Amino acid sequence: MKRLSVNIDHVATLRQARGESEPDPVGAAFIAETAGADGIVTHLREDRRHIQDRDVYILRKTLKTKLDLEMAATEEIINIALDVVPELVTLVPERRQELTTEGGLDVAAQVARFKEVTARFHKKNILVSLFIAPAKEQVRAARSAGADFVELHTGEYANAKGSTIDDQLERLKEAAMVAAKLGLKVNAGHGLDYRNLKAVAMIDEIEEFSIGHALISHALFVGMERAVKELIDILKEAEH
Ligand code: PXP
């Protein structure tokens, strides 16, 4: 069965807009798990624009599924992650001005650096995922760096229109196949929603989907529980 990891960052975005304590992303995580989510993802950004350190530490204590800590490989955040000990860290590029994570990591250009960071996490039994474009050279570099997972960036697929959608699906499929052949586990995420999830969920090698913006947006109107369940239903449909 394909798995759903729910990214709760935007619950914190709403909280930070008011600078008070509500809505609490920890509460959202609880409802998402109760509705059937297989894990919770959260991105502790260097600028702390949404998720705060407190959220990560409380989630570590309260989650019943698993915590995937999305993060830039900077010394400050690495040290927090080594202290929190999530089940998985997903390393992503981060730029101050971006609205959201824009591209994948260029692992191929920095294999030695990612190898060193991955080894530090492995010492603490934390699995490592590298967020990359669906490009074979990046997949191979992730394998050389010792990663356990790759998360394939689905942003270009999500933005594709017309006949280019199939080209993007093909890129994702090829990258997923190369990753699986190399013994990597494959996740995918970015820009996935209620319309575009099914086609990408039909790629056999992709095991888990990390979804935030579309889910939290839908939850504003239908509630968190239903928003999660509707995505799980799409994943079930894709199995057939
Ligand atoms: N995966 C990664 C690595 C991301 O950076 C993001 C965005 O925070 C997501 C998945 C979720 O993307 P979206 O919010 O578009 O569903």
Q: Does the CA dihedral 191-197-203-205 come out positive or negative?
A: positive
Q: How far apart are CA 60 and CA 228, in angstroms?
A: 21
Nearest to 172 by CA among 184, 159, 156, 183: 156
- pLDDT at 153 > cutoff 90: yes
Q: How far apart are CA 8 and CA 24, in angstroms?
A: 10
Whole-number pLDDT of residue 99: 72
Nearest to 41 by CA among 198, 199, 216, 169: 216
Domain ranges of the chain: 3-238
Query: Are 93 and 72 a contacting pair, CB within 8 Å?
Result: yes
pLDDT averaged over every residue in the chain:
96
- pLDDT at 96 > cutoff 80: no
Nearest CA to ligand 1 atom 1: 189
pLDDT tens sequence across 61-87: 999 999 999 999 999 999 999 999 999
Tracing tokens 């990612």 back to the chain, one arrives at 114
Establish whether 218 is a catalytic residue.
Answer: no
Tracing tokens 């930070």 back to the chain, one arrives at 16
Establish whether 230 is a catalytic residue.
Answer: no
Q: How many helices (DSSP H) and strands (DSSP E) are in the chain?
A: 11, 8
Q: How far apart are CA 54 and CA 33, in angstroms?
A: 19
Query: What CATH number is given for 3-238 in this structure?
Result: 3.20.20.70
Cα–Cα–Cα angle for 95, 116, 150, nearest 5°? 65
- pLDDT at 143 > cutoff 70: yes
What average pLDDT does the segment 149-163 reach? 97
What average pLDDT does the segment 174-181 reach? 98
Catalytic residue from among 10, 43, 50, 153: 43
What average pLDDT does the segment 111-132 reach? 98
- pLDDT at 100 > cutoff 80: no
Model confidence, pTM? 0.97
Q: How far apart are CA 174 and CA 205, in angstroms?
A: 10
Catalytic residue from among 190, 205, 208, 218: 190
Cα dist. 108→71, 128, 210 in Å? 19, 16, 23
> Residue length, the chain?
240
Pocket test for ligand 1, best of 98, 213, 217, 234 (most atoms within 8 A of CB): 213
Q: How far apart are CA 57 and CA 68, in angstroms?
A: 13
CA of 79 to the centre of ligand 1 (A): 22
Cα–Cα–Cα angle for 133, 138, 141, nearest 5°? 150
What average pLDDT does the segment 96-104 reach? 73
CA of 129 to the centre of ligand 1 (A): 13
pLDDT tens sequence across 21-44: 999 999 999 999 999 999 999 999
Whole-number pLDDT of residue 162: 94
